[in-house]
Each structure stands twice: as structure tokens, then as C-alpha cells.
Amino acid sequence: MPTSTAFSRKPKRWPLIALTILLLSACGEMAKLPVETGFGANPRLPEPVKTLIPTVKIAPAQRWESGESPTAAQGTTVRLFADNLDHPRWIHVLPNGDVLVAETNAPKRPLRDELLGIKGKVMGFVMKRAGAATPSADRITLLRDADGDGDGTAEVSSVFLDNLNSPFGMALVGGELFIANTDALVKVPYQAGDMKASGPVIKVADLPGGPINHHWTKGLLASADGQHLYVSVGSNSNVAEHGMEHEKGRAAIWAFDRASGKGRVFASGLRNPVGMAWQGDALWTSVNERDKLGSDLVPDYMTSVREGAFYGWPYSYYGQNVDTRPQPPRPDLVASAVKPDYALGNHTASLGLASAQGNTLGGLFAQSGMFVGQHGSWNRNPPSGYKVIYVPFNGAQPSGPPVDVLTGFLDAEGKAQGRPVGVAIDSKGGLLVADDVGNAIWRVQRASVLSANTATATATASASASASASASATLALTPIAMVLPLSSPSAPR
């Protein structure tokens, strides 16, 4: 059946409009400050830059070729722990060394699409080019380094749990595995060694979701005693442009009682908190800050989280620097805004956060520090992030500039071969990195450890080969009556 000319052209218009906007924005505003000025306890905060067309500078996704990998810091090496995953974003290491991976992406958000209109369609096009618009697999996969040879590779992969709803954070407490779906905190029973969830999914509590659900990820962290569960919830907008009525319970970290499921807002004014980790007794989080103030504003950050504290969003940024866009203004809240502890660079999309405790990378990577997965910018020119960094601590606070751990996610042409997200220390002290564009999990470890493991494996293989040759020679000279018991039903196989 023939279709009208107008109808047949309509699907082609959005990419053309989006491409036009991308080209115009690429010719516009650029960063005037080096990216390093956006790091540390006191980052440079220039005057906001307002442009007709917001800055858009994406790195088109072009996944790793076979044999390619990111570049590890001096003294360390990186190996492919697992591949052929479906948009892996978050990692949780179980006590027995098994690794859970959330293969996930954004859910359907009809009201968000309606409210954003043409801007939403342009952003959808941008995210698709960046490799971030794939349908959500809605599952958790278990990975196991089954042969125990220390080679840093998972030989076993099993779907642990599927039919979830954009799952993200995970936390094991006793015999229960808690999972933060985009709209609910749920749990399943778990026993050490389980390859699949052994019981039904039980809802613990509702989480802020809904038809907008702009920042959809929900991070999850258990308290040391297992009595409380902390959930990070992002805002429903950039700077409350849809109205504060849509922001109830959002831009916050929630605390839930594990036994009853009763929750409360623990801290607020955090635009998009994602990763969480413990540094001593203090809860820390990584936060993605606001957009559309230029390439040099606003830095993402990590901070310790004080109970009852307000961190500024949407009325101010990095403490009490006023953002005039949210209306009506709230000077009373601005006056109470807490300044974050450590800036992580402008638009770096610092998502992953893991304490360095237990790592065995050696060198500069001491036990007191944080690893940060920087997913990479889409609205800074030139791009920022696209790497994993380490921030050293002295006691309770960061104590120096960041150190690159894993780089090379952008190729020479500015294309994204991968984008790091979640980070975690595994049971042997290696650093695991989820790469949602590369559909892989990378493992960083001390170079000398890999060399020792390789040497051990080579020696073992050589010894096995010698033993096999010796056994073959023995069998050739052994009477048949002595050989038969080796193949009897009672012999081990």
C-alpha cells in the first residue's frame, strides 16, 4: 500500500535536525581552561557560559577490535576478564570470588520523551551515536574464574537472574542478595556457589521511578553491620526545569531499614549520585553535576555524605554558587548548601566508585584511596573523562591529584572504543572495570603478579607434559593386566 510523501519523509527529519544541531554546536563554545583545573578540593569555577545551542561533543561508539584493549598504568597490566556481554554497567563481587554484572540500560520513559520534545529526540540521536541507546537486557549475569589459575579471565558465565527492570546496584547481606531496580528495591535468596537465583524476587521497597525517570540508575550499598541499605537516586531533570513537583524524593541518597523496608531521605541536593563506597566509617558518593553552563562548568565530584545535609541542587552548585535558572530561587537552601570534598572534572560523568581497600596493584595505588570510573562527556569540547582514575587519601580526605589507572578508551580519531562505568576490587585484589560500549569487563592487576602466574602456569604445563610423556612410556612397557584397572568403572575420570 503506498504511503504519503509527508509520512515517508518524517522519520528522516530527526536525524537531519540532530546532525545540524551537532554541527552548529561543534563550531561553538569550547573549554578555555585545562581539564585539570576542574579537579581537587578547590576547582576553578569560571562564570557560566550561556549559548543558544548547548555544547554537544560526543565520541561516536566504535567498539574494540579483536586483541585491542585499554592502556593500563605503568607497573600494572590489563586483561579481558569477560566479553560478549550486553551493556554491562555495574559490578558486585561476592565473598567466594564470583562476580555479578548488571547488564542494563534505561527503561521506557514516555513522559520524559513528551516533556523534552525535539530536545529529547536530538538527545536520543546523540546517545545512540555514543552507544548508550541500546534496549535494556534487564538481567544480572554471574562470572566465575573457574580454573583458579589466576589468569584474570572468567571461564564460566551464567544468567543469575533475569526479567528485572533496569537493575543497577547490588548488595549481599547474609543469605539475601539485594538489587536496586529502577523503581524498586528487591531481594532474592543466595547461598555461596549459586549460579542462579534460587528463590522468588521479593519487593522490599518502592523507589522513585515513574514516567519521567530522567536519571534512572539506582546505586546500592549496605552498611557494615548490614542493618541499613543506602540507595542513590538521581534527579528527574537537569535543573528542575519540569518543576519541583517532579523531584519529590529525588536527587538524594535514601537509607532503608533492611528488615522492615522503611526508608527515609538520608541526604539531598545531590543532582545525580551514582556510585557509593565506604571510606572508614564515612559514606562517599560520586555525583554527576548539571549541564548547559559551558564546557568549564560544573565539575562532577565525590564527597562524604553527611546525614541530613543539603548539597545545593538545583539552586546552587559546588557549595553556594548560585544557579539562576531554577525558579523561584531558594536563598535559604543555598545558605545551607554543603561544599563537596573533591571535584572530578567538568562533565567527566564520574559514575563508578570503589574504595581502594584490598587492592594489590602496588606502586602509587595505596590502600587508602578511591577508584573512579569516568564514563566520559557528551557536552564538553574537547571531551573529558573516558578513563579510570585513582584518588589518593590521607586519612579521611583526598590528599593529591588523580592518577590515571586505565586510559585509551578514545582512539586517535576521537571515537569511543569503550566507556568505563562500574569499578570494583575482586577477591584477589585486582580492579574490575565494566565497559558498557565495549560490552566487556576488564581486569587491572599488578604486572609482576601476572608474570608470576604466567610462569607458574607455564611450569605446570611443562611438568604435566613431562609427566604425560613419562606415563606414556611406562604404559608402553606395562603388561596389559596392569593397565586394565585404569579404565575400570571404579577409577576416577
Please identify which residue in the block is written with the cell numbers 555461596.
192
16 has a pLDDT exceeding 60: no
Are 405 and 431 a contacting pair, CB within 8 Å?
A: yes
pLDDT class of 4 with cuts at 50, 70, 90: very low
479 has a pLDDT exceeding 60: no
pLDDT at 58: 87
Please identify which residue in the block is written with the cell numbers 574490575.
432
Among 350, 355, 416, smallest CA distance to 385 is for 350
Among 180, 155, 68, smallest CA distance to 435 is for 68
Are 218 and 233 a contacting pair, CB within 8 Å?
A: yes
Q: What mean pLDDT do residues 180-189 have?
A: 98
Please identify which residue in the block is written with the cell numbers 539531598.
268
Q: Give me the residue spans of the domains in the chain.
A: 55-455
Q: Where are the alpha helices (DSSP H) in 173-280?
A: none
11 has a pLDDT exceeding 60: no
**Which DSSP string corresponds to 22-50?**
HHHHHTS----S-GGGGEESS--------
449 has a pLDDT exceeding 90: no
pLDDT at 150: 64
Say what the alpha-carbon torsion angle 244, 303, 344, 342 is, to the nearest 10 degrees: 120
Q: What is the DSSP letter of 410?
A: B
412 CB-contact burial (10 Å; exposed 0-12 / middle 13-18 / buried 19+) = exposed
Q: Which residues contact 65 (CB under 8 A, 6 or more apart)?
A: none
pLDDT at 278: 98
**Which DSSP string corresponds to 251-268?**
SEEEEEETTT--EEEEEE
Say what the alpha-carbon torsion angle 27, 410, 15, 379 is, to the nearest 10 degrees: -50
- Dihedral pair phi/psi, residue 306, rounded to 5°: -95, 135
Q: Which fold, 55-455? A: Neuraminidase (2.120.10)
**pLDDT-wise least confident of 187-201, 242-256, 396-410, 468-482:** 468-482
Q: What mean pLDDT do residues 224-233 have?
A: 98
Q: Work out the end-to-end distance of the chain between its first and last CA atoms, rounded to an integer number of angstroms.
A: 65
pLDDT at 155: 96
pLDDT at 53: 80
pLDDT at 448: 82
pLDDT at 471: 37
6 has a pLDDT exceeding 50: no
What is the CB neighbour count within 10 angstroms for residue 359? 23
**Which DSSP string corresponds to 317-378?**
ETTTEE-SSSSS--HHHHHHPPPPSEEEEET--EEEEEE-TT---BTTB-SSEEEEEE---S
Are 223 and 237 a contacting pair, CB within 8 Å?
A: no
pLDDT at 21: 54
pLDDT at 344: 98
Say how many residues make up the chain: 493
**pLDDT-wise least confident of 57-61, 132-136, 196-200, 284-288:** 132-136
Q: What is the mean pLDDT of the chain?
A: 87
pLDDT class of 114 with cuts at 50, 70, 90: confident
pLDDT class of 83 with cuts at 50, 70, 90: very high
Q: Is 40 left (phi over 0), alpha (psi -120 to 50) or beta?
A: left
Judged by DSSP in three states, 442 sits in strand
The tens digit of pLDDT for each residue in 210-226 reads: 999 999 999 999 999 99
Q: What pTM value is reported for the model?
A: 0.87
Q: What mean pLDDT do residues 459-486 have?
A: 35
